[in-house]
Amino acid sequence: MLLEQASIKVGELNIHATLAEDRSILIHHLLLREAIASNLMEGIQSNFSSYFSQPPNANDEAYSSWLENYNYMNSVFWGVNELKRYPLSLRMIKKTHQIQFANQPFHPEWGGKLRMEMPVDPHDDSFTPPGRNELRRLINDAKRFWNNDDLELPQLVKMAISLFQFENILPFVSGNGRTARTLMILQLISLKYLKYPVLSLSVVMNRNRMEYYHRLNQVRSKNDIEQWIRFFLNCIIESTEENIQLIKSYQSLKGSIQNIITSEIGLKRHKAASQLLNTLCRKPIITVAEIAEELEISFQAANLLVREFEKLNIIQVNDSAKRNRIFYFTQLIAIFQF
């Protein structure tokens, strides 16, 4: 019953994402949620709003968190494009891992390389990962399992087992959990369950983080794979239901703001106001200078438009900024923040 429900929900999510008008924006924001949650499970702290407020040229801890999320999304987008030409493979998984470590100041040599040393599972001190001599054999076994279409197993069950395999083998020195959850997204797309990377599975898993690791250990200690599969399917169901609602909430918000623009802003400014709304949906934290650049209008015209949006309570200003005031599309941030 769980398997049937999970399959139906994934199909519903795929339909909602495929028919969405602002599909590229929704894909970005839903995948950003996935990246943030997956990194949170590895102890990397950030949130939805900080991703948009962080200057790209910074050189501090906040920038490092921003880069982790950017790299995670970039690795998924790379994988999705690669799947248009090639089947899912170990080469792809290694490349996504490499992208996740791109431009990182610490241990960049880890990216995309199978480990030569014994890692320590940060979530279970009692678990000893397989040694270097076993690693290649276990990875090859996992590959055969992924690609074995003769097994009489439903694909979502195979995915659950694949995730356990990856978390148990730990093929890289670091970043195994994130790469394993990236694999889940790519598998769903490879199997044609989803057309776009819109399942934020890590959000639900992070919410149930202790149960996630406990259930992994139940397989290791008691060989109880069924409880892990049940947990995985429940996470699929919860995540799809949540993201369907997020898509609906986003569409409802944008529609209501567009109605306000139509009724409250002068006809001559409708086009610019609609363009600003589209910009805010894509970039919910922004300055007047950035708006002028995005809309290709003067700073003065952008400032006047921002004042109208502020009066209509569409955006709010950060009063702490004395210069280059920062404006927040708080209603959109509230939808995707967790």
Has this prediction a pTM greater than 0.85? yes
Calpha distance 47→36 (Å, rounded): 6
Q: Give the per-residue pLDDT at 8.
A: 98
- Does residue 83 sit in helix, strand or coil? helix
Q: Give the per-residue pLDDT at 61.
A: 74
Q: Give the per-residue pLDDT at 119.
A: 67
Q: Give the per-residue pLDDT at 237.
A: 98
Q: Give the per-residue pLDDT at 321.
A: 61
Q: Give the per-residue pLDDT at 120.
A: 56
For the chain, where are the E strands, in sequence order? 285-287, 316-317, 326-328
Helix (H) or strand (E) holding 262: helix 225-264
Q: Give the per-residue pLDDT at 153.
A: 92
b/e string for 1-20 if b means 16 or more Cβ within 10 A? ebbeebbebbeebbebbeeb
Q: Give the per-residue pLDDT at 143.
A: 85
Domains and CATH numbers, the chain: 2-246 (1.10.3290.10), 265-336 (1.10.10.10)
In tens, the pLDDT along 62-90 reads 888 999 999 999 999 999 999 999 999 99
Positions of the chain with pLDDT under 70:
54-59, 105-108, 119-126, 320-322
Question: Who's near 71: CB < 8 A, 6+ residues apart?
Answer: 99, 100, 101, 102, 103, 104
In tens, the pLDDT along 100-113 reads 998 876 666 778 99
In tens, the pLDDT along 147-160 reads 888 888 999 999 99
